[in-house]
Amino acid sequence: MIENIFPKIHKEGYKFLAISIILTFFAWLFSGILFFVLLVITIWVYYFFRDPDRVSIEDDSFLVSPADGLITQILETDGPKELNLNNEKFTKISVFMNVFNCHVNRIPTAGKIEEIYYKPGKFLNASLDKASEENERNYFKLKSKKNNEEIIIVQIAGLIARRIVCEVEQGQDLKQGDRIGMIRFGSRVDIYFKNKKVLAKLGQNVVAGESLIASE
């Protein structure tokens, strides 16, 4: 019950939260207005870096969302050229995370990480189509445990986001809903897959590790 109200925070948030608390304390000593402003900021920092536990369906016939946020794009497209998949057709779903969403990303189905590829880039608004081609991003190629299909997850930095955090390694086996990393301060996650029925809808708000976005 307590964890529902005060969820644990991601280790990436420790430094920011500590700085906010210290500044808020000193503001309390000298200025009531500044104290109130910094208190609100401190609460927001805690909220932004929250890392709540999630309960996945544990059924690899489904894909769960890799990120919290808004479904902004569903389309048929070529695979990422960075992974030499641009001659293959995939279904792509984009999830945009605003600054109020939880930014911890999760694996959509059980499998093994076959490849991780980091691409430096710009920091455009992540909601723009060209962000997937120009922004800093991190690619995961996953071989699903159920049928050995390739599933691609792409972390894309945004206008404010300046750090993509990867928490898994190549060759690592993961369960559905396991954490794979996070992106700080607003960003986007794309997922590419084949041979599945899309369950997600444009404009739908989804929860990482829990919301069902595709099925066999």
Residue of 178, 188, 207 lying closest to 95 (CA atoms): 188
- Is 181 within 8 Å of 166 (Cβ atoms)? yes
Residue 132 annotated in active site = no
- Report d(CA 178, CA 121) in Å as an integer: 27
- Report d(CA 61, CA 74) in Å as an integer: 19
DSSP letter for each residue of 2-18: HHHHS--B-GGGHHHHH
> What is the CB-side half-sphere exposure of residue 66 using CA atoms within 13 A?
29
Of 20, 132, 144, 187, the active-site residue reads: 187
Give the catalytic positions in this structure: 187
